[in-house]
């Protein structure tokens, strides 16, 4: 069922009571992890811009949040960093870029454990199932999706370190057109669902064996 057909389904609006908190937690932890690791690597820029914060309002990007609600794939405002402040520039960029996706993997694993515990204790209800199911799905999606080498996603920062200088024109092209490519492909094809959907189904199949 598409997002637009969901608009006439009352159950969809009720589910948002649980889905929106899951989205806010996942995005906030993701961006906080970027800011925290950048500061630890020697760059005070995130703290200076108020991004070393667990307040969701400090991190939300209107378009990225809308994409999450429509497609369950999206982003928050990129954390500003200055790689020149890192004690070791390349490793600083790598660890700062990976911090967000790794925090989402950690949140996903915690959500799986809590889901299993609540289920076995017979404390699971429809709302909690929606919340933790969304936490599992969104955090895996954020981890995978943000590693794509397209601005404003985290993989674009990794690309600046990993790609040889002679191919720097690729970075320049993606910086200029990457956002349009990302939004256009999401609206036209919703291709991440085709990639991550099967992974999610397999993951739920594995951990359902533990229930």
Q: Which two tokens stand for residue 45?
A: 């820029």
Q: Is 7 helix (H, G, I), strand (E, B) or coil?
A: coil
pTM of the model: 0.83
Residue 1: pLDDT band (50, 70, 90) is very low
Query: Could you report the per-residue pLDDT of 40-70, keeping only the tens digit for each?
Result: 999 999 999 999 999 999 998 888 777 777 6
Question: How high does pLDDT run on average in the chain?
Answer: 84
Residue 17: pLDDT band (50, 70, 90) is confident
Pick the residue with more confidence: 146 or 92? Answer: 92
Query: In the predicted model, what is the mean pLDDT of residues 190-201?
Result: 72
The secondary element (H helix, E strand) that includes residue 101 is helix 89-120
- Asked if pLDDT for residue 8 goes beyond 90, the answer is no
Pick the residue with more confidence: 100 or 171? Answer: 100
Nearest to 99 by CA among 158, 24, 55, 57: 158
Are 104 and 136 within 8 A, CB to CB?
Answer: no
What is the spatial distance between Cα 208 and Cα 120, in angstroms, rounded to a whole number? 12
Nearest to 132 by CA among 144, 117, 147: 117
- Asked if pLDDT for residue 75 goes beyond 90, the answer is no
Are 22 and 138 within 8 A, CB to CB?
Answer: yes
Q: What's residue 159's pLDDT? A: 83
Pick the residue with more confidence: 57 or 177? Answer: 57
Q: Report, as residue numbers or ranges, the catalytic residues.
A: 31
What is the spatial distance between Cα 28 and Cα 142, in angstroms, rounded to a whole number? 12
Residue 151: pLDDT band (50, 70, 90) is confident
């Amino acid at each position: 069922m598409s997002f637009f057909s969901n608009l006439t389904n009352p159950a969809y609006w009720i589910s948002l009571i649980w889905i929106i908190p899951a989205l806010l937690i996942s995005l906030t932890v993701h961006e906080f992890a970027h800011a925290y690791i950048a500061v630890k690597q020697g760059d005070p820029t995130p703290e200076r811009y108020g991004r070393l914060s667990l307040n969701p309002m400090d991190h939300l990007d209107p378009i990225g949040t809308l994409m999450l609600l429509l497609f369950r794939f999206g982003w928050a405002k990129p954390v500003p960093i200055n790689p020149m402040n890192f004690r070791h520039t390349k490793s600083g960029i790598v660890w700062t870029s990976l911090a967000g996706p790794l925090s989402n993997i950690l949140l996903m694993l915690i959500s799986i454990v809590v889901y299993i515990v609540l289920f076995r204790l017979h404390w699971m209800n429809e709302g909690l199932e929606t919340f933790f199911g969304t936490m599992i799905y969104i955090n895996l999606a954020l981890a995978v999706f943000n590693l794509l080498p397209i601005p404003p996603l985290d993989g674009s920062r990794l690309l600046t370190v990993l790609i040889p200088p002679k191919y720097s024109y690729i970075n320049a092209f993606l910086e200029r057109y990457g956002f349009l490519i990302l939004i256009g492909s999401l609206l036209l094809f919703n291709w991440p669902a085709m990639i991550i959907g099967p992974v999610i189904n397999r993951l739920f199949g594995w951990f359902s064996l533990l229930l």
